[in-house]
Structure 1
Amino acid sequence: MAHAAPRLRGLLEQVLAAPLPVRIRAWDGSEDGPPGAPVLVVRDRRALRRLLWKPGELGLARAWVAGDLTVEGDLYRALELLAGQLWERGEDDRTLGQALRDPEVRSAVRGLLRLAGPALPPPPPPEEIRRPRHLHTRRTDRRAISHHYDVGNDFYEIVLGPSMVYSCAYWEDGGTLEDAQRDKLELICQKLALTPGQRLLDVGCGWGSLVLHAAREHGVRAVGVTLSQEQAAYARKRIADEGLTDRVEIRVQDYRDVQDGPYDAISSIGMAEHVGAERYREYAADLYALLRPGGRLLNHQIARRPQRDESAYEVDDFIDAYVFPDGELAPVGTTVTQLERAGFEVRDVESLREHYALTLRRWVANLEAGWDRAVGLTSPGRARVWRLYMAASALSFERNRIGVNQILAVKPRAPGTAGLPLRPRTWHG
């Protein structure tokens, strides 16, 4: 008789010391849990072995990416329900080590081991990349960027849509993703006060959407730099198709190797998360040196909430292993301080947190609508990585666990002179 689901549910609730708010369907077809709730489908007992040998987020991620664990029903709702038990337990909750001191918890873990079977867990899925963190050399940064961005331009077209912009859009009620991305590009250009003939450097230019918009709509001469060969090839074709090769150049180049300043304006949109805490002062100083006096920097960057003990902050295991290897988030106040230490005058900070949640939900919908093609272009595991990462990130923005900010900073012409208009957010002075 099929009975794995109620056994599994009871043992997990014993370990978590809390009721499990989702239904469970086990590998033997049995189900147990609240009627109408999203269903956590444990397709194979390998999922338990992965989790028991690597407790926490990484074990769950490996089971999800391998296809041993999935959700049937509303993925967002399932993640919300599970967040309290698995990812957002308070500081007073028991650690695993503390929990194992409880005889009942030890008994439940032994029961899970018996239910998982005697075999060892299989190796991690091939989509996982593991390496020492926080190196941020030119070589390791190239490898990390390639892991994330060289998935295939056709895959990104499915997720991002025609705009091919991979950062949060700027929404109005009822607008399309393409409208919102165009408005975001225009917002950046307005904040940078771009005028014909100026030189723009876009650090981490992606598929070239911003430099194309800036050249076409504002008449600038633009340079975009990326570490991704696939992005560069795609951007160059777009530029050629629009007849802008005389005004826009795309380079496969590390921002630390750009030597042809000064530029009138610099944009860094969704790139600084890859810089790393130990390298951020260098990043800010390099961009400062590349700007002319009076030039503007628009730094668009995801931020995390401050921790009581910043020295204890841990990088997200799932994101580090499967999405952004070596990515690091900092509180917005830390970023502002680093820019100011480099010599910039920070003139404006605008939060777009809710805008990123809306954008991610639209990207998830795009991926789900093109699922079969996305799987064919990459792998089932890679598509599962993206679905989970984007859905979970949308919820993190909605719940204010992370945010995203546009920071406008100026390289002063002389002490005390920024050259901006008196009225705030009237960007052209």
Structure 2
Amino acid sequence: MSTPTVQHTDKSVFQIPQRRMGRNERSVRMLLASAGVGVEGKQAFDLDVHDSRFYRRILQQGSLGMGESYMDGWWDCSSIDSLTTRLLQANLDEILRHNPQFWLQVLRTRLFNLQSSHRAYQVADMHYNLGNDLFVMMLDSRMCYSCGYWKDASDLEQAQLNKLDLLCRKLALQPGEQVLDIGCGWGSFAQYAASHHGVKVTGVTVSREQQVLAEERCRGLPVDIRLQDYRDIMGQFDKVVSVGMFEHVGLKNYTAYFSMVQRVLKPDGVFVLHTIATDRQVEATDPWIERYIFPNGKLPTLAQIAWACEPHFVVEDVQNFGTDYDTTLLAWQQRFSVAWPELQQRYTARFRRMWEYYLLTCAGAFRSRQLQLFQLVLRQRNRQRQRYDAPR
């Protein structure tokens, strides 16, 4: 009796071993084959499956099962970023989305405000407070934990310097201005803007670890770092910037967010919003990302941002350089890998697989163009203002 085979255009990529397969394995192999991905193949994006329970787990749990089974060592891949790109471009994420884990997340998103004020600090507890040693070793010297701008840059250091310079030019900073930095991280923008443009910066973060290190790095500069939820911000500012924080606001809170910015921004001020976005609306956050990386996070679409800010602001400029996040994430992954011999004294091997999976799958998602990176320049409505020509 002949061994059953699955037809594929490139037999070197996908081959069935000489053994009997179960229904779950056969189904998963066929799904992978539709994306040109094989098992035990020779391509860098092929999977090496070490535990046959992997197949059932994928069908039952989708992306959550994919990520957790990698953390558990059930499979490996030489190029997880390339694998992710192929799976997303073949829309396998949508096919595997129809599982209880995803629909439970959809239900939670519909019923609850997952980004309410009493939940605001949860992402810091799980992610941003992991340990400053991890982020110091993974990020550039200024500790920018957001997409670098790789135009005319050949390394991470220059790309992040370019990004900070671009933000300052879009804000048109002037000496002595009061600037609000919503989600200031470890103070990279605050330190740069105060040092190079002579402005006074108020930064807010929900992470105590970030606040402590940001205060240390900005010592001697006119910078005030506050442990504070954005809903509690008071005062008046000439300029407002938010870099990589809007992803934690959530659709139910967009009106409150933009209302707050309008309230604290002076009439002729400028607001620059830098955020990751999805190419189309998805009801819930990926269950694996939600559980292990960014709890209560929710990526917007450009349409949702435009709808939410319309009553408050005019959109002067939109720039998309999402492909630069692919390069940024790979640079972080390389630095993390080099630093691992020292980091492993504090972090487990399972954490290493989790963190690598996070960085590489996100790189693949940006490469597939499912994820974007937008910078928007916003100014208040009903104000006389001069023509704005956004720098690049």
Q: TM-score, normalised by structure 1?
A: 0.78
Deviation string 1:204-249 (CA, Å, 9 cap, x unpaired) is: 0000010000100000111111000000111111112xx21xx111
Kindly tell me: are residues 199 and 34 of structure 1, through their superposed partners in 2, closer, same or farther at Cα, counting changes over 3 Å? same
CA distance in 1, matches of 2:89, 2:265: 46
1:424 is matched with 389
Amino acid in the other structure paired with 1:59:
G
For residues 273-328 of structure 1, the C-alpha deviation after alignment (integer angstroms, 9 at most, x for no partner) is: 10000011100001110111101111111111224xx6xx3321111111111111
Deviates more, 1:355-364 or 1:132-141: 132-141
Aligned pair partner of 2:206 in 217, 220, 227: 227
Query: Partner residue of 1:282?
Result: 256
The percentage of aligned residue pairs carrying the same residue is 32
Q: Counterpart in 2 of 1:75?
A: 80
Partner in structure 1 of residue 68 of structure 2: 62
Residues 222, 174 of structure 1: CA spacing in aligned structure 2 closer, same or farther, 3 A cutoff? closer
Q: Secondary structure of 1:298's partner?
A: strand
- The whole-number CA distance in structure 1 between the counterparts of 2:352 and 2:285 is 22
Name the counterpart of 1:265. 239
The alignment partner of 1:330 has SS state of coil
Per the alignment, residue 323 of structure 1 pairs with 293
1:293-372 map, 5 Å: 293-307=267-281, 313-341=283-311, 343-372=312-341
> Which position in structure 2 is the counterpart of 1:145?
124
Is the 8 Å Cα contact of residues 316 and 388 (structure 2) preserved in structure 1?
no
- Contact 1:374–1:383 (CA<8 Å) still a contact in 2? no
Residue 60 and residue 267 in structure 1: after superposition, are their counterparts in 2 closer, same or farther (change >3 A)?
same
Question: Counterpart of 1:370 in 2: which secondary structure?
Answer: helix
Identify the residue that residue 137 of structure 2 maps to in structure 1: 158
SS at match of 2:328: helix
Which of these residues, 204, 215, 229, is aligned with residue 254 of structure 1?
A: 229
1:13, distance to aligned residue in structure 2 (A)? 3.0
8 Å CA contact retained: 1:13, 1:19: no
Q: Flag the 1:84–1:355 CA change in 2: closer, same or farther, 3 A.
A: closer
Residue equivalent to 1:12:
25
Residues 331/39 of structure 1: CA separation in 2 closer, same or farther (3 Å cut): closer
**Could you tell me how far 1:14 is from its partner in structure 2?**
3.5
Contact 2:182 2:204 in 1 (8 A): yes
Counterpart CA distance in 2 for 1:94 and 1:151 is 29
Q: How far did 1:385 drift? A: 2.1
Partner of 2:120, secondary structure, is helix
1:191 maps to which of 167, 170, 173: 170
Q: Tell me, which stretches of 5 or more residues in structure 2 are unaligned? A: 1-15
Where structure 1 has 5 or more consecutive residues not aligned to the other structure, the ranges are 25-32, 98-128
Seen in structure 2, the aligned counterparts of structure 1 residues 302 and 289 have a Cα distance that, compared at 3 Å, is same
Equivalent of 2:375 in 406, 422, 427: 406
- 1:8: how far off? 5.3
User: Letter of the aligned partner of 2:284 in structure 1?
Assistant: E
Looking at both structures, which has the greater relative contact order when contacts are Cα pairs under 8 Å and sequence separation is at least 6? Answer: 2
Q: What's the RMSD between the two structures over aligned residues?
A: 3.0
Quickly say closer, same or farther: Cα 1:67–1:161, change in 2 above 3 A. farther
Match of 1:56, SS state, is helix
1:208 corresponds to: 187
2:286 is matched by which residue type in structure 1? Answer: D
TM-fit CA distance, 1:333: 1.9
CA distance in 1, matches of 2:380, 2:201: 19
CA distance in 2, matches of 1:229, 1:16: 45
Superposed CA offset, 1:80-123 (max 9, x none): 44446783457xx99679xxxxxxxxxxxxxxxxxxxxxxxxxx
Return the offset for 1:189.
0.9
Residues 23 and 373 of structure 1: CA distance in aligned 2, closer, same or farther (over 3 Å): farther
The alpha-carbon deviation at position 399 of structure 1 amounts to 1.7
Larger deviation, residues 131-140 vs 197-206: 131-140
Asked whether the equivalents of residues 203 and 224 of structure 1 are also in contact (C-alpha less than 8 Å), the reply is: yes
3-state SS of 2:336 partner: helix
Separation in structure 1 between the aligned mates of residue 322 and residue 194 of structure 2, nearest angstrom: 28
The CA distance in 2 between the partners of 1:184 and 1:203, in whole Å, is: 16
Shift in Å, 1:425: 2.0
Residue pair 2:279, 2:371 contacting (<8 A) in 1 also: yes
Larger Rg over CA atoms: 1
Matched letter for residue 291 of structure 2: A
Letter in 1 for 2:218: I
The count of aligned residue pairs is 368
Residue in 1 that maps onto 2:49? 42
Post-superposition Cα deviations, 1:341-380, rounded to whole Å, max 9, x if no partner, equal 2x21211111111221211121122122223333333322
C-alpha distance in structure 2 between counterparts of 1:214 and 1:37, whole Å: 42
Quote how far apart the aligned CAs of 1:11 are.
5.0
Matched residue, 1:125: none
Distance between the aligned counterparts of 2:358 and 2:313, measured in 1? 34
Q: Report if aligned partners of 2:206, 2:228 keep a CA contact under 8 Å in 1.
A: yes
| Residues 1:5 and 1:63: Cα distance change in structure 2 (over 3 Å) | farther
With normalisation by structure 2, the TM-score equals 0.84
Q: Which residue is 1:120 aligned to? A: none
Contact 1:56/1:86 (8 A) holds in 2: no
1:219/1:383 CA distance change after superposition, 3 Å: same
CA distance in 1 between partners of 2:128 and 2:297 (Å): 13
Q: Is the 8 A contact 1:155 1:377 kept in 2?
A: no
